[in-house]
Amino acid sequence: MARRSKIDAEKTRSKLIETAARLFEARGYADTSITDICAELNMTKGALFHHFRSKEELFREVWTNLQVEMDNQAREAAIAARNLTDPYAAFLAGCRTYLEYTTRRDYQQIVLVDGPSVLNMSGWYESDHDLGNQNVKAGVRYLSKKGFVEPENVDALAIMLQSSLNGAGFALARNTPGLTTERVYAAFEVLVKSLR
C-alpha cells in the first residue's frame, strides 16, 4: 500500500471532505475527531494530514463548499426571477433561496453554528468569504437606487436582513409553534417591501 495515481488521490481527498461534512453535520465540529473520520474510510490519520494541514483546514474546505453551493443557487434564483416591473422580485427570490439554506441542518451546523466559532470571527465576515452578505448587499443597493432605501442605510440593512434570515432558519428548524417557511417568507416580504 502506497502511492496511487493522481486521480485516485483526488478521489480520496474528496471522499475525506464528503465524510467530514457528514460527521460535522451530525455531531458538530468539536465532537467529530479526525480518527472518527479516518475510521469511517478505513484510512489512517497520516493520509488525512497529507491532504489537509489541520482539522481546521478540512473544516474550512467543507464550509467553503457549502457557501459556494448556496451562493450559486441563490444567484441563479435571483437571475431567473428578474422582472422589469417588480424591483423586488430578484432580491426576494435570492433571499428565499437563502432562507431555505438556513433551514437545512448541514448549513446550520456547519456554516451558522460551527463556522463562527471554528474560523475566527474576524475571518467569518471578511468580504471575500461571506458570499451571502455580498449578494444581499447588492440587492439592497439596487433597492436603494430605485429609491426604497436611504443610501446611508444600505450596509446596515443588508447585514440586518441577512441575519434575520439566519435566525428565522433556526427557528424553523426546531419547528417553533406557528412558524412555517411560508409564513416566515411572507413576513420577510412585508419587512422588505415596507422599507422606505
Partner DNA sequence: GAGTTTACATACCACCGGTATGTTAATCGT
Partner DNA sequence: ACGATTAACATACCGGTGGTATGTAAACTC
Q: For residues 18-28, b (16+ Cβ closer than 10 Å) or e, as one string?
A: ebbbebbbeee
22, 28, 55, 61: which one contacts DNA (CB under 7 A)? 55
Kindly tell me the number of DSSP H helices and DSSP E strands found in the chain.
Answer: 11, 0
Closest CA to 42 of 16, 22, 77: 16
Which range of residues in 16-24, 68-76, 78-86, 184-192 is near its own copies by CB under 8 A? Answer: 184-192
170 binds, among its own copies, DNA, none (CB under 5 to 8 A by kind): its own copies
DSSP for 123-153?
Answer: HHT-TTT-HHHHHHHHHHHHHHHTTSS-GGG
Whether 49 and 20 have beta carbons less than 8 Å apart is answered as no
CB of 195 to its own copies, least distance (A): 6
Which range of residues in 32-40, 84-92, 134-142, 176-184 is near DNA by CB under 7 A? Answer: 32-40
Binding site for its own copies (CB under 8 A): 28-30, 108-109, 112-114, 116-118, 121-122, 124-127, 150, 152-153, 155-157, 159-168, 170-171, 173-174, 176, 178-179, 183-184, 186-188, 190-191, 194-196
